[in-house]
Structure 1
């Protein structure tokens, strides 16, 4: 009996550009598990901690994720990381926690500066099967290559692009790569570059800007993590955007479309979903 295809099997031709999950800041909580389907609310934390995390995320445009080392290794104090992904403010601070009160305090605590990147691979199988099946091999490969920097994480978004990889502090999201390609993406990020092939976008930008930066990277060939900084974004008409980028100076116009997928977009969904896609209208150097 043939198993039904998973959501990531059916999404191999889906456009990645413009699909990075939104987030200006990230709060990462080390918790080996088990993780509930709704990770933070259903993983053993008290109501006060859940409420505080939700309020923080709403206030700062942030995301709260559970993290663990590949293989669910545990022991010792658990870490937290508070990440600022905003351009020009990229920073990671860290500390340890032992109880809910300490975790709530960590939302505002200065912590200590964490140097170096963090690589998060969604391996949240209770949320979507693809994240476990495709995420865990990538997480294991990254853990072998970069043990101090690699973590499994709870649901990121865009399960159909599994495995999903986030490079912090910049908040670049990637999807659909092999474990070996993921290790290469991490190495490139450490060297200060990104590759457009598997890039979904940067979490701090709205989808139209993510898509515009994708086309600008293809047009210019630039790969720097800080290249093509957003200067302005203007709605020209319903669904059409003009995005001005700098370093180097490029102007991109894209048109947003809602595409009916004709299929569920996650393994747990029961009804067909829709996708946001962007068509390139024009791209040109400016200045």
Structure 2
């Protein structure tokens, strides 16, 4: 496997600019258009459940791991191990940091329900990551959540234009709690944030993100910008979101999935699910529906042609005592 060509040496020493000029946040940008359309980010979190965070200052090309200052001989081997073990690799850097400030840190994070945790270590060389255990058996446990803000301008300009100001301003309680990170997905929802170890995805986070941080410091989600929890199927993410809206259950561990049943499709291209969740005081049943978007849109700034997406909608929420929630 031949990695992409490295970035020019002069650019690799800087973290305050993307690999190419990001441009302006004008009306043509995908995130601006998504906000204007009112695109829903519900149930768009990644399916990933395990993560490898690799501190790597300097700009990143479109393929961050292979187009950065990370050891070019090690990068494809690390990518292969991550694919084999189903682990998502994210490059991270301090907001505004430069190369000389790097400490060679790396972390393993587990978002699986009941196994949530994150452990930080320091590598002496990039090759260390090829043999290090990815199971939480090494490293210092993180004392609290980490906020990863996508600032990957080499992947989409909106991520840099919206993400970098947010990462610099986010009022996290400790200096190790906020990181810029490589591509998270859902560029049109920039600024995008994932909160580890639970793996909650947020999009279109406004201002300095203070309300998001405040919610997680209280063990709750910030529902207004929540895209979903990583690792869960889209229909479960949608059901959890609908139940949180209806019942006000905002705890990070609320509404664990119990069972999901595919219902008969009411129309072509329409998908309907019934999902049982662990509620308070008893189980909650949610019916959700997925429909194709009415029009094709540009999903990223660099998209060559428009595409369609599916959106999720809450139909009903009910508790085991028979008390219904409202539908929509």
User: TM class by shorter-chain length?
Assistant: over 0.9
Aligned residue in 1 for 2:28: 5
Q: 2:182 aligns with which of 133, 154, 163?
A: 154
Assess, with a 3 A threshold, how the Cα gap between structure 1 residues 201 and 58 changes in structure 2: closer, same or farther: farther
| Distance 1:32-1:267 versus aligned 2 partners, 3 A rule | same
Q: Choose between structure 1 and 2 for higher RCO, CA contacts under 8 A separated by at least 6 residues.
A: 1
Instruction: Give the aligned partner of residue 18 of structure 2.
Output: none
In the aligned structure 1, how far is the partner of 2:169 from the partner of 2:130?
32
In structure 2, the CA distance between the partners of 1:143 and 1:75, relative to structure 1 (3 Å rule), is farther
Query: Is the partner of 1:197 in helix, strand or coil?
Result: helix
Task: Measure the CA separation in 2 of the matches of 1:83 and 1:187.
Answer: 22
CA distance in 2, matches of 1:49, 1:122: 20
Task: Give the drift of 1:9.
Answer: 0.6
The aligned residue for residue 52 of structure 1 is: 78
**Deviation string for 1:192-236 (max 9, x for gaps)?**
011211000000211111111010001101111100111111212
CA contact (8 A) 2:57 2:102 kept: no
- 1:17 and 2:49 correspond: no
Secondary structure of residue in 2 paired with 1:254: strand
Count of matched residue positions in the alignment of Structure 1 and Structure 2: 284
SS in 2 for 1:253: strand
Q: Unmatched 5+ residue regions in structure 2?
A: 1-24, 266-270, 322-328
1:4 and 1:216 map into 2 onto residues whose CA distance is 34
Name the residue aligned to 1:277.
Answer: 311
Q: Distance in 2 between matches of 1:58 and 1:19?
A: 24
Structure 1: gaps of 5 or more residues: none
**d(CA) in 1 for partners of 2:112, 2:172:** 29
Question: 1:85 aligned to 2:111?
Answer: yes
Specify the structure having the higher radius of gyration (Cα): 2
- Please give the root-mean-square deviation of Cα atoms over the aligned residues, in Å: 1.9
| Secondary structure at 2:224 match in 1 | coil
TM-score using structure 2 length: 0.81
1:34 to 33, 38, 59: 59
Structure 1 or 2: larger strand share? 1
Given that 2:34 and 2:189 are in contact with CA atoms closer than 8 Å, whether structure 1 keeps it comes out as: yes
Confirm whether residue 205 of structure 1 aligns to residue 239 of structure 2.
no
Bigger Cα displacement from structure 2, 104-113 vs 27-36: 104-113
Would you say 1:192 and 2:219 are equivalent positions?
yes
Contact kept in structure 1, 2:61 and 2:68, CA below 8 Å: yes
Confirm or deny that 1:166 pairs with 2:194: yes
What is residue 132 of structure 1 aligned with on the other side?
160
Q: TM-score, normalized by length of structure 1?
A: 0.92
